[in-house]
């Protein structure tokens, strides 16, 4: 496949070196997990310079971590949120105030990029999480190559339904990735779905508590919400190998969008340091 990632002001040798660095980082991250490695390569081929939003449940932060490490081989990566996110241990975190000016924030971003290719920026809340910085994404875009946005919350559950205000995707978004945790399949919806009442209400008649989340129910719910340019099915290691391709194909045909299977929980933690 042709790589769609933009290389600005780079020689052919620079591009080749960058691609080699990406492959090396994928090998470090995946440690022999070919399925997850191929999933990350598939994603990279579809990411262009600008804003990428990650929504859904069951692995948003893990996906942002992996993509930030890979994209940092090609340019400057800024991580942020429209909801809330914990600071990251492997990159520099820029903590700003609600009253900070755009000029002051951009100055901090420029200075920090001189030291590190990956930054995370946000306003620190009382719970230790970061919330949205008081600056337009269109302004941030001019000072980095890629912006990765966690644009949804899920209370650490593998599945969720969205209310009318969710997800909070910036209008500058070039690609939105919907994450779903496959560990939710085969379990009662009230145990695995955030905002389960909204999930039940997607169906007529509404689903009853105790209903087991099947691939058919999942597909119908995802179709009705119609979110994300592609579906990233995480926690694929919870599914028997022989059933994974069947599930991917079923969802892809039902949703009419790309479906990617991966197991980000298998990523080698040392590579994130």
* pLDDT tens digit sequence for 178-197: 999 999 999 999 999 999 99
Backbone torsions φ then ψ of 96, nearest 5 degrees: -115, 170
Residues 6+ apart with CB under 8 A from 16: none
Summarize pLDDT for 24-45 with one digit per residue, the tens. Answer: 888 888 877 899 999 999 999 9
Give residue-wise pLDDT tens across range 61-106.
Answer: 999 999 999 999 999 999 999 999 999 999 999 999 999 999 999 9
Q: Which of 15, 12, 77 is nearest to 49 (CA)?
A: 77
pTM: 0.90
**CB–CB of 221/236 below 8 Å?**
no
**Residue 266, SS3 per DSSP:** helix
């Amino acid at each position: 496949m042709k790589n769609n990632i933009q290389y600005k002001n780079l020689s052919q040798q620079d591009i080749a070196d960058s691609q080699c660095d990406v492959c090396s980082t994928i090998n470090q991250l995946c440690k022999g997990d070919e399925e997850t490695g191929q999933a990350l390569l598939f994603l990279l081929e579809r990411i262009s310079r600008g804003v990428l939003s990650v929504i859904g449940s069951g692995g948003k932060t893990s996906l942002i971590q992996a993509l930030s490490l890979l994209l940092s081989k090609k340019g400057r990566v800024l991580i942020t949120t429209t909801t809330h996110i914990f600071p990251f241990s492997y990159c520099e975190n820029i903590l700003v105030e609600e009253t900070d000016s755009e000029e002051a924030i951009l100055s901090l971003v420029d200075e920090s990029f001189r030291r590190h290719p990956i930054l995370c920026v946000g306003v620190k809340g009382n719970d230790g999480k970061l919330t949205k910085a008081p600056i337009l994404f269109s302004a941030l875009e001019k000072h980095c190559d890629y912006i990765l946005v966690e644009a949804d919350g899920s209370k650490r559950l593998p599945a969720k339904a969205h209310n009318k205000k969710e997800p909070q995707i910036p209008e500058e978004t070039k690609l939105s990735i919907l994450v779903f945790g496959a560990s939710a399949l085969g379990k009662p919806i009230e145990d695995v779905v955030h905002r389960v009442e909204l999930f039940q209400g997607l169906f007529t008649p509404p689903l009853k508590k105790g209903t087991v989340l099947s691939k058919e129910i999942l597909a119908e719910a995802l179709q009705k919400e119609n979110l994300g340019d592609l579906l990233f099915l995480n926690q694929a290691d919870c599914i028997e190998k022989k059933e994974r391709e069947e599930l991917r194909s079923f969802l892809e045909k039902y949703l009419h969008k790309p479906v990617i299977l991966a197991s980000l929980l298998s990523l080698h933690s040392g590579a994130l340091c």
